[in-house]
Amino acid sequence: MPHRFFYDGPFDTDQLLLDGSEAHHLLHVLRMRTGDTILVFNGTGAEAEGVITNTSRKSVEIRVTAIHAAQASLQRPLILATAVPKGDRFRWLIEKAAELGVTKLIPLLTERSSVDPGENRLKKLQQTIVSAAKQSGQIQLMELAEVQKWDEFLSEVSQTESRLLIADPAGKGLDFFGSDEKSEAPVVILIGPEGGFTPEELQSALDQGAESVRLNAGILRIETAAILFAGLIRLLEPGVEAGQAGS
């Protein structure tokens, strides 16, 4: 299968120019040359097949030979709203969430939060999302939202038709979906900070219709709980066959 690269722009012409880190990877890591075939995606649901027609030290010209529109996804929209773990663990969380096909990740500030990633750090983490999409075959980039305070987030999400699931050691087991569950309804999963949500935060979520879910008998780190929760949603949602889930 051809190597995949990210192109930050529309596929509105049959000539594309790759530069920056993508061109560097193509030229100096993979050592590809004129005439090689590649795949290019722009993170909006389309993928182009093309041939390298010219290279310079820092850029690559590509002639588009075919454009493949995204097929309708069988997966429901999945939003991960999570407290931010310390250090490089947040980058790892973002990488794995993007690989799993999480639609949107919202960093949360709760009463017990100890990390506010800030706008600059979030911008730097965008490349992690691109790399994860390339590796996992995703053609839709996960959206990384701005940091939101708990009350503001809960107020906004309460205005939507989303199904809220909150990680809670006292919650129910893993049977998230019934056979009649509509696959179009977005799912929002909520992960608290080290020490968990406060009783008041938990109650405010329950008051908005959230369902509490027990993920594990033990206490999990933020990133472990987030990825376990997202993975279980993708595995157990209606319409996902065992072979698809493990692929």
| Strand-strand pairing, 15-19 and 59-69 | antiparallel
Q: Give the Cα-Cα-Cα angle 214, 215, 220 (nearest 5 degrees).
A: 115
pLDDT of residue 245: 42
Q: How far apart are CA 95 and CA 196, in angstroms?
A: 23
The tens place of each residue's pLDDT in the chain, 247 residues long, gives 789 999 988 888 899 999 999 999 999 999 999 999 999 998 888 889 999 999 998 999 999 999 887 665 667 899 999 999 999 999 999 999 999 999 999 999 999 999 999 889 999 999 999 999 988 888 889 999 999 999 999 999 988 989 999 999 888 876 666 544 555 779 999 999 998 999 999 999 999 999 999 988 788 999 999 999 999 998 887 655 444 444 3
Domain 4-69 has CATH 3.20.20.100: no
The pLDDT value recorded for residue 179 is 46
Q: What is the pLDDT of residue 244?
A: 45
Token representation of residue 40: 């290019």
Instruction: State which fold the 78-246 domain adopts.
Output: Alpha/beta knot (3.40.1280)
Map out the domains of the chain as residue ranges: 4-69, 78-246
Lookup: tokens for 156 = 């906004």
The token pair at 241 is 């066959």
What local confidence, expressed as pLDDT, does residue 243 receive?
Answer: 41
Q: Residue 146 and residue 227: Cα distance in Å, rounded?
A: 20
